[in-house]
Amino acid sequence: MLAIILAGHGLARLGIDAEWVGGSSCGGGSLSVQWLQLGCRGEAWLLDLPTLIATPSSAAHLQAALGALFASPRLLKVGFGLAADLRVVRSAHGSLRCCCAASAVSPSVDLVNEWRKLRGAGAVSSLSALCATVLGAPLDKRCCLSNWGRRPLAAQQLEYAALDALVLPTAHEELERRRIRAGGAPDWRWIGRHCFCACFAKPVARAALAEGERVVRVELRLGRTFAPIGEGEPFARGTVRVL
């Protein structure tokens, strides 16, 4: 994962999201963070945190990998409520407290704040609502409150988790374009060559990698959120790696 993300040339955006069981990120109830999702350059990684930190050795390896990614100046870390997600991860998994500290995740940007800068005091209620406004289609949120403690995840959960991470860089790119059109100074480090207008994912094939790692091929297509996969033209393909 670390080698693939950092192997790309130039600068890139890294989407960060998390899924948990119980409570809420606002502090209501006890949380069990099950998955950390990372999305970059058309690929998503779903990290099974309880499994990956089950031993001191594996926890140390994961902390080192995440620490390198989150501190890399070549990656702009993008989230929706990013500080809250990181706080939940730190609270649930003490072994990741250092690499997930707010000061350790830099440079970073929160789409909630970026939207407020663009539209004044107005706020959006969810990432799905932001995508509907900015990218032209909402995310399918039917799996939001599903059982993230199950293993393996259902296909619909894989789609949901992957899209949450993959759509963050795309949404930020479009927000940056809108900010520039509104008269803001461009930040040329993070201006991409393309700006997609919608995302839709569907597992289309599977392949075996190393033991303990599953790969789900996903195809991103234009079209309505609940449209059949055959509708719309594909504009990107990526890989979801379940670790």
pLDDT tens digits for 174-226? 888 888 888 877 676 665 433 332 333 333 233 332 334 443 333 333 233 32
Q: Is 134 helix (H, G, I), strand (E, B) or coil?
A: helix
pLDDT tens digits for 9-49? 668 899 999 999 975 544 444 579 999 999 988 888 999 99
Write phi, then psi, for 22 (nearest 5 degrees).
85, 150
pLDDT tens digits for 126-180? 888 888 888 888 888 888 888 999 998 888 888 888 889 989 998 998 888 888 8
**137 and 225 in contact (C-beta within 8 Å)?**
yes
- Report pLDDT for 227: 28
CA distance 73 to 108: 10
Topology given in CATH for the domain delimited by 2-242: Nucleotidyltransferase; domain 5 (3.30.420)
CA distance 199 to 136: 9
Among candidate residues 13, 24, 106, the one with its CA nearest the CA of residue 68? 106
